[in-house]
Amino acid sequence: MSAPADRLRILRWLLAANVAASILHYVDNVLFFAQYPEPWWIDTHIIDAFWFAMTPLAWLGYRLVRRGRMQAGAGAGVLYLYAAAGLLVLGHYRYAPWCGIAARIHVFILLEAIAALVLAAWVAWMQFGGRRARLAHG
């Protein structure tokens, strides 16, 4: 059984917000690479590659959910993986103190992290919240 249309519409908006937040952050990270706290082994090519590897997960997860694969875990699992990839931006704070990072960078990091958390929470609600309501009324 596929997810109801209103839940899918909200999911689409959340995925669009996550992709937009990641574009803002990743483009800024590539353009102003020297200003971002990064591990010694990372460069702009790795950042680009990671964005191009993680972003299709949003589309794939959405497609699986649309095809009714939410409760089976496939769609939810892919979307959780995408959200987790979005939370990796918090790793910047491992390489510099809060006060050593420009305000603009904080905005992009926190925007992407908050979007990822909201997405993960919505996916969890879609996966488990509706089932609990049906059990209470059934």
Convert the pLDDT of each residue in 97-132 to its tens digit: 999 999 999 999 999 999 999 999 999 999 888 655
pTM of the model: 0.88
For 1-138, list the strands marked E by DSSP. Answer: none
**Considering Cα of 115, then 116, then 121, then 127, what sign does the dihedral take?**
positive
What pLDDT is attached to residue 72? 64
CA dihedral 49, 62, 24, 116 (to 10 degrees): -100
Domain span at residue 13? 5-137
Give the pLDDT band (50/70/90) at residue 137. very low
For the record, the structure tokens of 87 come out as 């939370």
How many structural domains are present in the chain?
A: 1
